[in-house]
Structure 1
Amino acid sequence: MSTHPMASAGTLDQEFGIKGVVSISVPGYPYPNITSVGIGPDKKIYFAGTGEGGTEPRVVYVLGRLNEDGTTDTTFGTAGLAIGHVPGASLINVKSFAFQPDASLVILGNASGLEYYDAPFLARYDADGKLDTSFGTDGHCLLIINLAPPAGFISSSAKNYRESSTASDNASGAQGVVILPDGKILAFKQHMFNLALSHGLIIRLTQDGSLDPEFNQLGYIAVIHPDYLHHRTLLRNIMVQADGKYLGCGNVGGGEHPRALMFVRYDTTGIPDVSFGGKNGFVTIADDQSAVEWMVQQPNRRILGVGNAYSAPTKGMMISIEHDGSPNIQFNRGEAFYTDLEPGAMTAWEGAALQRNGRIVTVGGVGQFNGEVDIVVARFIDAQFDPDFNNGQGWVRTRLANGAQYATGVTLQEDGKIVVCAFASASRAVILRYHA
């Protein structure tokens, strides 16, 4: 009987795909970009993103499924892929997806076309990878929400969101969609009026894809910090906490108030939770260069915020707060923790997850800005590198080719293995699995 030594945490799982790597291709679309990955109720690996460079349409969204060993599950969609297009859209990006109790999936992204700009869209697919035409309009829900700037805002350069040349969600990192216990759907976007003014939207839909009038009577709320009413409130992600409340994160800036990290919490009707932060439902933490882009629920109802400090060079950033919004002094003494993996090189986090033992996994890229960048996976125990990961280093870099390559999302299997989706080159998207 042969025995196999235990694989070292942080090494690629050689039993997955080809030496730990699966390449994803989209027939007819030579430029795939996979931006989200998750484990389904069936324990299989799902991924979502876009395919670009086609003839007509030139861009599509894609949803796919892999078996546990990384082989394509050909029973899903057509040969393992479901390919869709948002009616009238010339540009599409996919942010995230979530599973409903019946194992169907809801995709969230943004789309732009001649009739709309950067509008959130959702699509629902059944467990076999077939578009659910009972959802929205023939399977799609396109949310064109016209907003006016807050009262009192005056700017000769003000533009509405269809005319603005600034990218709203592209600058906001990964975004989430949440299936609520009653089957309703929570989503969000960042709404830009111009370079100086923006705020977030938290949106709730009924099960059939309609705006939910029980949520703020409109089906959505505007997320605007009162101290930055005529400036920038940047909503970058949302989550639903164990008590059912809706938590958002991002950053604020502009005007006489300093730029700061931001958390905000609402109850299920859309009313700010004044017990969070002790004032208006917002918590801000002074930081003139960073943003919170993802959140992870920690034990004892604590919240871990993960993002980046956009200094020169970029650094990864983490901060932990208590359930009431006060600093978690057990994590880096309550202060933001910055990660600079290599002197003079950028370190950028593009996703995060929490293992069952409380260890923090972050993924992204490390290297030279606009140059050689490699996929990176790191693991932390609180604000310290995990000495059991990658033979004591605490992080591992993976180079698949020359040029820019970086992780775009992460999920964890039940056995703790780390599954990462990544951009590997202008024409290659990959999924990798690492030992835990």
Structure 2
Amino acid sequence: MSRSTHPENSGTLDPTFAEGGVLKWPTGELGGHFTQAILPLAGNKLLITVLLPEKTGAFGLAKVNEDGSIDREFGGAGTGVLEFSLDARLDEIIDICGLIDGGWLVKVTSSYGLYLVRFLQDGQLNTAFGKDGVRWVPFHFEPGGEGREDGPVTFRWQDRGPSAQATRSSADNGPSAVEQPDGKIILRSLVYVGINRSHWVVLRLNPDGTPDDTFNGSGSVDIELPGIPLFGTTVKGVALQADGKVLVFGEDRNDTLDSSIYVMRLDATGRLDTSFNAGKGFMTVPNLRYAYANALAVRESDGAIVVAGDSWPDADQGYDRQGLMFVLTHDGFLDFAFNSGQPLFSKLVDKGHNWHRCAWQADGSIVAAGTVGRAGYIDTGVDKALTARLRSDGSLDLTFNGSGFVLFNEEDYEATVEDMALMSDGRIVVSGFTRRPGIVLPRTFGSWFVRYLA
């Protein structure tokens, strides 16, 4: 857990990082514009992922030193970027997961499935995982057996090429893959049924990348809530509690504008955990207007759960967003210590904002980052990155930048948040895209990283 190390300057840019606390990417001769996921490393270094749009199927990894310089020795080519190519057109890098062995698992989507690429600590592929370090998880499953009375239908994951009829994947948020202490990997994925219908599943892989049949008898769990069609439930991410139970979160929607945000818990075997929320196995925050759950974090000290996202309460009249946050106890009840047990809606600036990432600090404070501005597909020319710190009761921590929050964007440009991470000493790193306002839509042409004192 991180602790505050610079309380007198908390929430201000760290002058020891890059140029006054800001690192811009591409930098110098290093290419690749889209840095969608970041991971803190030992020695206060940072691992960043780089999507390389000029090279079909390619992405890169780079290490950033504590002072914001690029570790040129990483990757072995002298550039500081370790490039890796897949035989597919890639959509986006979803996230990067740190592993117990010191390596990393990178999750990348194509139009037809997921690529899980596992690296060792030295940047080499872990060839014991999948096929030479790569595991392909298609969005289409085939039944692998007939239904049985003594257990669920099992599935065989196709390892052949993707179907040309598959629909493109949607954008993802949140932690979408985590490693258990025994090395097994929990992740979420889509399953397409036919051409235009899909639903979400949670999968568990063995350390070598094969499906773990001890998880729900098949390695796969369909995520659905009572009274909600399977196709109406979205999984935004997964997380682990200290006792090995699996948290799943997302939204469900009906035929109106209303939606609910849910948190579900599965036990170690993949079954619905009925000890969560007094026997239900899940809890919901219902009757929200255009609500999205974007991030979830578990507090190490007691297993408390914070969920962050956004809601558009006046979506039929405009597109100003409100940040949405609530806290649950370990066993799935709204925590009355946070905002008197109610969801917290916040609009810290006039144009509204969302919460895209969140994290607990050791003292029970919550750090959250998101983007100021209206709906992402509407060019308002006002997008800024917003980072805030809330006390454990939900009030703004006014010692953070003197106001509880801080804004960032480059002059004449827009800034949208993609990821956030806490360094081991508590300093806060936020990353995102740099965009130039356009007549209809903004144009993304680079990335940025800022580091704030804690």
TM over 0.5: yes
Residues 20-419 of structure 1 correspond to what in structure 2 (within 5 A)?
Answer: 20-25=21-26, 32-52=33-53, 54=54, 57-77=55-75, 78=77, 79-87=79-87, 89-112=88-111, 117=112, 119-147=113-141, 163=165, 165=167, 167-168=169-170, 170=171, 172-191=172-191, 198-254=198-254, 259-286=259-286, 287-298=288-299, 299-310=301-312, 311=315, 312-343=319-350, 345-369=351-375, 370=379, 371-381=381-391, 382-391=393-402, 393-419=403-429
Tell me, which stretches of 5 or more residues in structure 2 are unaligned?
Answer: 1-5, 148-161, 436-443
Secondary structure in structure 2 of the residue aligned to 1:259: strand
Q: Deviations over 1:114-142 (max 9, x none)?
A: xxx1x122101121222233321122111
Say if 1:165 and 1:143 are closer, same or farther in 2 by CA, change over 3 A.
Answer: closer
Secondary structure in structure 2 of the residue aligned to 1:283: strand
CA distance in 2, matches of 1:374, 1:421: 12
> Residue in 1 aligned with 2:150?
none
The offset of 1:61, in angstroms, is 2.1
Q: Deviations over 1:41-93 (max 9, x none)?
A: 343211124121x1xx4342222211111111122113322222222x11231
CA distance in 2, matches of 1:258, 1:399: 33
Contact 2:311 2:322 in 1 (8 A): yes
The offset of 1:165, in angstroms, is 4.8
CA distance in 1, matches of 2:51, 2:218: 30
Contact 1:228 1:255 in 2 (8 A): no
Contact 1:61 1:93 in 2 (8 A): no
Tell me, which stretches of 5 or more residues in structure 1 are unaligned?
Answer: 152-159
Deviates more, 1:272-281 or 1:14-23: 272-281
**Percent identity between the two aligned chains:** 26
Secondary structure in structure 1 of the residue aligned to 2:11: coil
Contact 1:419 1:434 in 2 (8 A): yes
CA distance in 2, matches of 1:111, 1:229: 26
CA distance in 1, matches of 2:179, 2:44: 18
Q: Which amino acid is 1:136 matched to?
A: G
Q: Which amino acid is 2:306 matched to?
A: L
Contact 1:363 1:408 in 2 (8 A): no
The offset of 1:410, in angstroms, is 0.9
The offset of 1:246, in angstroms, is 0.2
CA distance in 1, matches of 2:32, 2:62: 16
Say if 1:178 and 1:21 are closer, same or farther in 2 by CA, change over 3 A.
Answer: same
CA distance in 2, matches of 1:366, 1:29: 29
CA distance in 1, matches of 2:116, 2:370: 26
CA distance in 1, matches of 2:86, 2:310: 31
Question: TM-score w.r.t. structure 2 length?
Answer: 0.83
CA distance in 2, matches of 1:279, 1:137: 41
Deviates more, 1:100-109 or 1:398-407: 398-407
Q: Deviations over 1:219-275 (max 9, x none)?
A: 221111131135411110110001110001111112599621111110111111011
Task: Tell me the C-alpha RMSD between the 2 structures.
Answer: 2.8
The offset of 1:309, in angstroms, is 0.9
Q: Which amino acid is 1:125 matched to?
A: F
Q: Which amino acid is 1:142 matched to?
A: W
Say if 1:91 and 1:214 are closer, same or farther in 2 by CA, change over 3 A.
Answer: same
> Residue in 1 aligned with 2:14?
13
Deviates more, 1:126-135 or 1:252-261: 252-261
Q: Which amino acid is 2:359 matched to?
A: A
Secondary structure in structure 2 of the residue aligned to 1:325: coil
CA distance in 2, matches of 1:272, 1:404: 43
CA distance in 2, matches of 1:193, 1:12: 48
Say if 1:163 and 1:313 are closer, same or farther in 2 by CA, change over 3 A.
Answer: farther
Say if 1:254 and 1:367 are closer, same or farther in 2 by CA, change over 3 A.
Answer: closer
Contact 2:45 2:65 in 1 (8 A): yes
CA distance in 1, matches of 2:334, 2:185: 30
Q: Which amino acid is 1:309 matched to?
A: S
The offset of 1:293, in angstroms, is 1.9
Say if 1:231 and 1:214 are closer, same or farther in 2 by CA, change over 3 A.
Answer: closer
Contact 1:198 1:232 in 2 (8 A): no
